């Protein structure tokens, strides 16, 4: 058996290649849209990808099933409860998919979504104990999938959570302890609240250590897994809907187009959003007026999905040599309407000084001083709810980054505003987003809450 895990830190997302080296047949499970890595690895090991299995209709990224199918002719498989607008291979509970001696078995594990499945992997068809189980978003290392992500599709968490209890406690926990557990996400994903940094585990380890796998009745389980969930990122409903639709494969080469200054400025003047992917310091030193700063060296794709409206034309400013990376990471969350990137950005901006501005930033000591004055600024905290529980600036307004786009109008326009997060990444995004919406007097706090806590101690 050939078995490989592919992990994306920026989305905390895992996908898998499973193949039989004797027959050369393979499948990919839960692929992203940039599929070269899977296909190159398969080719290098003498494998032909003949199928793609999605454990569910993903909400946090765009699945790459069409990209693989176009290049290999692979079938696309979902659990048989999946509602898609394109033909799929419907995988029944207990169905076996043979790749040779290596065999996959489908296990229906609804709860995160109605159609969720897990995939048992057997190294040999006659093995009594599976090599492992690919659990999608049903069971994570340290957590279970949240049951509230598809509420917008008419599936109430109160209905899905009991299904998840059955899937975890009666199905997955019935597997042998030494069965390896390979989930679709790790720490940092918004698909759960307590995910581990470990990328795989065993059923036995989760039986012993995962809070959601301990003996309990269904009501206790439902209460545990539904409380304390963070805000759902704004792009999740869009991606969930897009993954149901027939679409053309993403052409990353076509999206990575260099644009001269004038060719770049024309779509900007017509309403395209400028995503500046440089770090906060470079952005603060000088950027195109109205640009949103989403640094590439962070949770770029997820954060972009929170503040960039799907379907809107996108223009990119990036450090030279990183433009393709920016395009790829945007496409992973469905932001594939990129018109191009600014060639030679420093020279281009130097030639149009009237359209370039600096980003106002505030040191922690200065903020502490200003909060004691009569005209103290409004402080906006864009951290998650769990982060805020560890401490907050007195009098600050809390709007999680995931909700900012939908709640920005709650903020007073006639008052200076200082935005902060934990360390400074999200606050630069949020402050630039608010300025892009016509708000003046918006600064971000250098070093975030940790810097403020240190000077306020």
User: Any idea what the CATH number is for the domain that residue 272 is in?
Assistant: 3.40.250.10
Find the domain containing 381 and state its range. 361-456
Q: What is the pLDDT of residue 153?
A: 66
Residue 426 contacts by C-beta under 8 Å, 6 or more apart in sequence? 303, 382, 383, 401
Same domain? 117 vs 179: yes
The per-residue pLDDT for range 13-65, each reduced to its tens digit, is 999 999 999 999 999 999 999 999 999 999 999 999 999 999 999 999 999 99
Length of the chain equals 457
Same domain? 417 vs 450: yes
DSSP 96-159: EEESSS-EEEEEE--SSSTT-EEEEEESSTT-SS-SEEEEETTEETTEE--S-TTGGGT--HHH
Q: What is the pLDDT of residue 195?
A: 82
The per-residue pLDDT for range 148-190, each reduced to its tens digit, is 876 556 678 888 999 999 999 999 999 999 999 999 999 878 7
The three-state secondary structure class of 19 is: strand
Q: Tell me how far apart the alpha carbons of residues 190 and 250 are, in angstroms, rounded to a whole number.
A: 24
- Last residue of a domain, which of 357, 377, 392? 357
pLDDT-above-90 percentage for the chain: 90
Give me the phi and psi of 183, to 5 degrees please.
Answer: -85, 175
- Last residue of a domain, which of 308, 339, 357? 357
Contact by Cβ (8 Å): 74, 80: no
Scanning 227-363, the segments in alpha helix (DSSP H) are 236-242, 252-255, 261-269, 280-285, 300-307, 323-331, 345-350
> Biggest alpha carbon distance in the chain?
76
- How many CB atoms are closer than 10 A to CB 220? 12
Same domain? 114 vs 190: yes
Does 84 map to a domain?
yes
Q: What is the pLDDT of residue 187?
A: 82
Q: Tell me how far apart the alpha carbons of residues 345 and 351 are, in angstroms, rounded to a whole number.
A: 10
Does 189 map to a domain?
yes
Q: What is the pLDDT of residue 151?
A: 57
What is the mean pLDDT of the segment spanning 197-202?
94
- DSSP assignment, residue 92? P
- Last residue of a domain, which of 294, 323, 357? 357
Total domains present in the chain = 3
């Amino acid at each position: 058996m050939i078995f490989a895990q592919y992990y994306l830190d920026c989305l905390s997302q895992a996908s898998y290649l499973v193949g039989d080296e004797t027959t050369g047949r393979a499948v990919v499970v839960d692929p992203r849209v940039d599929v070269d890595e899977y296909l190159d690895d398969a080719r290098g090991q003498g494998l032909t990808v003949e199928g793609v299995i999605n454990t569910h209709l993903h909400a946090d990224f765009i699945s790459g099933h069409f990209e693989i199918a176009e290049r290999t002719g692979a079938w696309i498989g979902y659990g048989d409860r999946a509602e898609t607008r394109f033909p799929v291979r419907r995988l029944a509970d207990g169905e076996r998919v043979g790749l040779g001696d290596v065999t996959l078995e489908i296990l229906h594990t609804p709860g995160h979504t109605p159609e969720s499945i897990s995939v048992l992997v057997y190294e040999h068809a006659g093995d009594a104990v599976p090599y492992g189980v690919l659990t999608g978003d049903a069971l994570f290392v340290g957590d279970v999938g949240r049951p509230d992500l598809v509420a917008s599709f008419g599936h109430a968490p109160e209905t899905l959570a009991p299904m998840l209890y059955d899937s975890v406690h009666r199905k997955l926990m019935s597997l042998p302890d030494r069965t390896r557990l390979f989930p679709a996400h790790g720490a940092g994903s918004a698909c759960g609240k307590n995910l581990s940094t470990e990328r795989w585990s065993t059923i036995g380890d989760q039986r012993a250590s995962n809070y959601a796998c301990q003996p309990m009745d269904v009501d206790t389980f439902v209460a545990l897994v539904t409380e304390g969930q963070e805000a759902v990122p704004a792009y999740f409903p869009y991606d969930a809907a897009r993954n149901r639709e027939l679409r053309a494969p993403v052409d990353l080469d076509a999206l990575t187009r260099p644009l001269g200054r004038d060719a770049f400025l024309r779509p900007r003047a017509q309403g395209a959003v400028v995503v500046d992917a440089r770090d906060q310091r470079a952005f603060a030193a000088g950027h195109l007026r109205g640009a949103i700063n989403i640094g590439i060296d962070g949770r770029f794709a997820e954060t972009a999905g929170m503040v960039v409206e799907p379907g809107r034309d996108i223009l990119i400013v990036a450090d030279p040599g990183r433009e393709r990376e920016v395009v790829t990471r945007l496409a992973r969350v469905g932001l594939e309407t990129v018109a191009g990137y600014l060639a030679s950005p420093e020279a281009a901006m130097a030639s149009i000084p009237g359209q370039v501005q600096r980003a106002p930033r505030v040191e922690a000591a200065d903020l502490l001083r200003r909060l004691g004055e009569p005209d103290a600024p409004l402080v906006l905290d864009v951290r998650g709810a769990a982060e805020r529980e560890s401490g907050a600036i007195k009098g600050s307004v809390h709007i999680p980054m995931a909700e900012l786009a939908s709640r920005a109008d709650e903020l007073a326009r006639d008052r200076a505003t200082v935005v902060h997060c934990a360390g400074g990444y999200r606050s630069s995004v949020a402050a630039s987003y608010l300025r892009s919406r016509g708000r003046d007097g918006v600064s971000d706090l250098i070093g975030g809450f940790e810097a403020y806590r240190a000077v306020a101690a």
